[in-house]
C-alpha cells in the first residue's frame, strides 16, 4: 500500500496515471481499478464503479456494506491494482479497500493529507526545482529554446505557477496556443491564407514564407539598409513558434 501525498497541482494524479499505464507494472496485475473521490463523493457510486471494473455485479438496492462485500468477492484471488485518487478522509479508503491481500494485489492512494491512512508507505511529492519547472513549462509550450533576454521572464512565470506541474502544464499549453495564433497572424499579415493549414509544421513553413514576403515588401519601400521597424524585426524570427522571444 502506497500513498502519494502533495498539495493540489503537485502531480499526484499524473503520477498515479503513469503508474497505472506502465507496462512493467501492468504485467504484474490482472485488473486495474481506478476511482477519483474529491471532497463530496458518492460512496455507493464509486463502489459500483470498482465492482464493475472487477467484473462483479450487485443488486440495484444494495447498500454500501453489501457493495463492499460484493467488491471483496469480485477481487478474491485476483491480482488487482486499486487506485484511489484524491482521498480526503480515512473512511474513503475503508469504504473502497476490497483487495485480497494474499493474492499479491496493491493499492495506490493519492491525497493532500499527511498520514491519512495508517499502514501506507507515504511518498511526498516535493516542489519542482527551478530548472525542472522551467523545462516542463517549455516542453508543454512546445518551445525549444529561450532567448537570454526572456529567460528571467520565463523564470518569473515558473514562480507564479508555484513550480506546480499542473499549473505549469496549463500555462505551457497557453503558450503553445499563443504561438499558433502568432503564426496565423504573421501568415495573414503577408496576405496568405491559413485555410487547410492544420499541422504546426505546415503553419511554420507558411509563416517562414510570410516573413520573407514581409521583409521583401519592407525593403522595396525603404530607402536605406537599416533593419525593419521593431514590429517587423520581431517577426523576422523564422522559428517564431519554437523560440521564446
Q: How far apart are CA 75 and CA 104, in angstroms?
A: 11
Please return the burial class of 101, using the count of CB atoms within 10 Å of its CB with bins 0-12, 13-18 and 19+.
Answer: exposed
Grid cell in block for residue 148: 537570454
The pLDDT, as a whole number, for residue 239 is: 40
Residue 21 CA neighbour count, 13 Å, CB half: 6
Q: How far apart are CA 126 and CA 153, in angstroms?
A: 23
Contacts of 109 (CB under 8 A, 6+ apart): 1, 2, 3, 4, 83, 84, 85, 87, 93, 116, 117, 120
% of the chain surpassing 70 pLDDT: 85
The answer, yes or no, to whether residue 46 has pLDDT greater than 60, is yes
The sign one gets for the Cα dihedral 229, 234, 235, 238 is positive
Q: What share of the chain is helix, strand, coil (3-state, %, to 5)?
A: 50, 15, 35
DSSP class of residue 229? Answer: P
Q: Which of 77-91, 151-165, 212-226 has the lowest mean pLDDT?
A: 212-226
- The mean pLDDT of the chain is 80
Which string of DSSP letters, residue by residue, matches 117-137?
A: STT-EEEE-PPPPHHHHHHHH
Q: How far apart are CA 203 and CA 199, in angstroms?
A: 7
The pLDDT, as a whole number, for residue 47 is: 95
Mean pLDDT of 16-20: 88
Q: Hey, which residues does 122 pair with through a beta bridge?
A: 3
Mean pLDDT of 144-160: 73
Q: Which pTM does this prediction carry? A: 0.59
Amino acid at each position: 500500500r502506497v500513498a502519494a501525498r502533495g498539495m493540489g497541482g503537485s502531480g499526484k494524479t499524473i503520477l498515479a496515471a503513469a503508474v497505472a499505464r506502465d507496462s512493467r507494472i501492468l504485467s504484474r496485475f490482472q485488473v486495474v481499478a481506478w476511482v477519483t473521490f474529491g471532497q463530496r463523493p458518492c460512496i455507493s457510486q464509486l463502489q459500483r464503479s470498482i465492482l464493475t471494473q472487477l467484473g462483479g455485479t450487485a443488486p440495484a438496492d444494495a447498500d454500501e456494506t453489501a457493495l463492499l462485500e460484493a467488491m471483496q468477492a469480485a477481487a478474491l484471488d485476483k491480482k488487482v491494482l486499486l487506485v484511489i485518487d484524491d482521498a480526503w478522509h480515512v473512511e474513503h479508503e475503508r469504504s473502497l479497500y476490497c483487495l485480497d491481500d494474499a493474492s499479491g494485489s496493491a493499492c495506490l492512494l493519492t491525497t493532500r493529507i499527511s498520514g491519512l491512512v495508517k499502514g501506507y508507505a507515504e511518498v511526498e511529492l516535493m516542489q519542482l526545482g527551478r530548472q525542472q519547472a522551467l523545462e516542463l513549462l517549455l516542453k508543454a509550450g512546445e518551445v525549444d529554446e529561450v532567448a537570454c533576454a526572456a529567460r528571467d521572464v520565463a523564470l518569473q512565470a515558473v514562480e507564479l505557477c508555484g513550480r506546480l506541474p499542473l499549473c505549469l502544464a496549463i500555462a505551457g499549453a497557453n503558450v503553445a496556443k499563443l504561438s499558433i495564433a502568432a503564426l496565423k497572424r504573421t501568415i495573414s499579415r503577408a496576405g496568405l491564407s491559413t485555410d487547410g493549414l492544420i499541422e504546426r509544421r505546415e503553419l511554420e513553413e507558411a509563416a517562414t514564407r510570410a516573413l520573407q514576403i514581409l521583409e521583401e515588401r519592407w525593403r522595396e519601400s525603404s530607402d536605406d539598409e537599416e533593419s525593419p521597424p521593431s514590429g517587423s524585426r520581431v517577426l523576422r524570427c523564422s522559428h517564431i513558434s519554437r523560440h521564446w522571444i
